[in-house]
Structure 1
Amino acid sequence: MTISTAPRGKYFEDFEVGQEFISPARTITLTDIVNFACLSGDFNEVHTNFEYCKTTSFGEPIAHGPLVYAVMAGLQYASGVNDGTLIALLQNDQWRMLAPVKHGDTIRARVRVIEKKETSKPDRGVIVVQREVVKQDGIVAQEMRTTFLYRRRPKG
């Protein structure tokens, strides 16, 4: 029996400008929010205090922006696009929080290729994408422009 060790991810050559990927979805839970507060040390009341949140426009605790970003990155990985072919996250630009994510919201990543650049090294290339965190109702909660370094397809 032969076991394949080939990556399931996309190589630099597999990306095309305009191409779009939609990740699997995941529901954000109150446990996620509390665990992230504990992990990060960010116990801001807008994330942890139901009574305080009743006085805000949110009405209830909201997920931390970086928590939503981290879940979105995991969802992009779960899609298989990066598996075994991503070398590095190089840059995030224009990261914007557009709508709150609350416990019970289900999010997914929508990723659109906007640039593809060869590098001076023949084994890698740069892919720039527009990433959006999209909630179950179609509202975009976060968006950013992200630059990744991907492996090129091996010769031979």
Structure 2
Amino acid sequence: MTAITAKPRGRYFEDFEIGQEFVSPARTVTSTDIVNFACLTGDFNEVHTNFEYCKTTPFGEPIAHGPLVYGIMGGLQYASGVNDGTLIGLLQIDAWRMLGPVKHGDTIRLVSKVVEKKETSKPDRGVVSFQRQCVKQDGSVVQEMKATLMYKRRPKG
């Protein structure tokens, strides 16, 4: 019996070009996501979990945790196929900024633009940096950051 090995659908280091932009599929954030994240992390801050308290805030209702939105952004990048089978790892996040709230019912997507690309001393990998933006259904940017990731290089032969 012969094993069938699927080729990665992700992009290799060589496939990225400075200025290239990727837009992920969209995903709607729900109250269940917010409550599940609070339970997972133990972060029950009232701005995320207490409807009555939130009526006294500028948001009017519970908002998603910043790291929850960040995590969803990672899932959206995976859903785009860019990382599938070619990503080695996340190296760093710089200038992570929360610019607006994400609430139950907001639909978000990830827009990633390649801003840097460099080879490493190892011939099987390279580093790519993206300017990432989390964009809501109304076009507003709610989070942004520079993400630096390591990718496999295209196999020779």
DSSP 3-state at the match of 2:24: strand
DSSP 3-state at the match of 2:115: strand
How many Å separate the matches in 1 of 2:25 and 2:49? 27
Query: What is the alpha-carbon root mean square deviation over aligned residues?
Result: 1.1
How many Å separate the matches in 2 of 1:70 and 1:116? 23
Residue type at the aligned position of 1:122: P
Give percent identity, aligned residues only. 77
Residue type at the aligned position of 2:63: I
How many Å separate the matches in 1 of 2:30 and 2:98? 19
TM-score under structure 1 length normalisation: 0.98
How many Å separate the matches in 1 of 2:108 and 2:147? 18
DSSP 3-state at the match of 1:46: helix
Equivalent residue pairs, number:
156
How many Å separate the matches in 2 of 1:145 and 1:102? 23
Unpaired stretches in structure 2, ≥5 consecutive residues: none
DSSP 3-state at the match of 1:71: helix
Residue type at the aligned position of 2:113: R
Q: Which residue of 1 aligns with 2:55?
A: 54
Residue type at the aligned position of 1:60: E
Q: Which residue of 2 aligns with 1:45?
A: 46
DSSP 3-state at the match of 2:26: strand
Structure 2 matches for 1:16-35, cutoff 5 A?
Answer: 16-35=17-36
DSSP 3-state at the match of 2:25: strand
How many Å separate the matches in 1 of 2:114 and 2:5? 28
How many Å separate the matches in 2 of 1:16 and 1:46? 40
TM-score under structure 2 length normalisation: 0.97
Q: Which residue of 2 aligns with 1:131?
A: 132
Q: Which residue of 2 aligns with 1:79?
A: 80
How many Å separate the matches in 2 of 1:38 and 1:118? 41
CA offsets per residue over residues 75-121 of structure 1, 9 Å max, x none?
00000000000001000000000000000000000000000101100
- Further displaced range: 53-62 or 4-13: 4-13
Q: Quote the offset at 1:5 in angstroms.
A: 1.2
How many Å separate the matches in 1 of 2:73 and 2:149? 15
